Amino acid sequence: AELRDHIPVLHATIAGCRFVGRTTVGNIRGLLVPNTTTDQELQHLRNSLPDKVVVQRIEERLSALGNVISTNDHVALIHPDTDRETEEIISDVLGVEVFRQTVGGQALVGSYAKFTNQGGMVHPRTTVQDMEELSSLLQVPLVAGTVNRGSDVLGGGMIVNDWCAFCGLDTTGTEISVIESIFKLQRRSNGMDMSAQPMDIVMDMRSSLIDQLS
């Protein structure tokens, strides 16, 4: 409820479940949902989102799409065992280049990698060589990191876009600083517009989080 003054908030379920972040994946062009999504849920999403956002239900046995796909507006990483048809739908609906990858030896790329159009964070055991390869594919800077006081399941503890990020209450000040840095979320200075609302949201949430942790 506290976010409604800053961003549109859509209440939804997928297959009757509330953990929508692990079952869906999307970007500025589209939203992919699993085949377990009911017709009513699908229609609710289509009615609630802008017309330019394509909502597509896909037949994929790896139905926790948020765990097996990580994407921004240009590139998507997917689980190596994702169906070929699903790969084509991801490319068409989200308008991205698609690469089959693992992150830090983990096939659940959506769980162990989070990236935007500005930067990305990957599993802490990802080697420097692998990070360089991934960074080259994604064309954004990457850092190995954690959330929630050392958790490597980045997808389960953080949601981030090009303007702001939200993470679990256990996330430390150091982890927050790394997140702000790699995703370029710091408040702008040196004569740039300091009134940008998304930056204010980030700073307010950061202060609130630090107060709760201290």
Digit-by-digit pLDDT tens for the chain (214 residues) are 566 766 778 899 999 999 999 999 999 999 999 999 999 999 999 999 999 999 999 999 999 999 999 999 999 999 999 999 999 999 999 999 999 999 999 999 999 999 999 999 999 999 999 999 999 999 999 999 999 999 999 999 999 999 989 999 999 999 999 999 999 997 543 434 444 444 454 455 445 545 555 5
Distance in Å from the first CA to the final CA of the chain: 24
Which pLDDT value is given to residue 211?
A: 54
183 residue type, one letter = F
Query: Could you tell me the CA-to-CA distances from 55 to 46, 62, 66, 187 in Å, in that order?
Result: 6, 18, 15, 33
Angle formed by the axes of helices 197-213 and 173-182, to 10°? 160
User: Residue 92: helix, strand or coil by DSSP?
Assistant: helix
Q: What is the pLDDT of residue 186?
A: 76
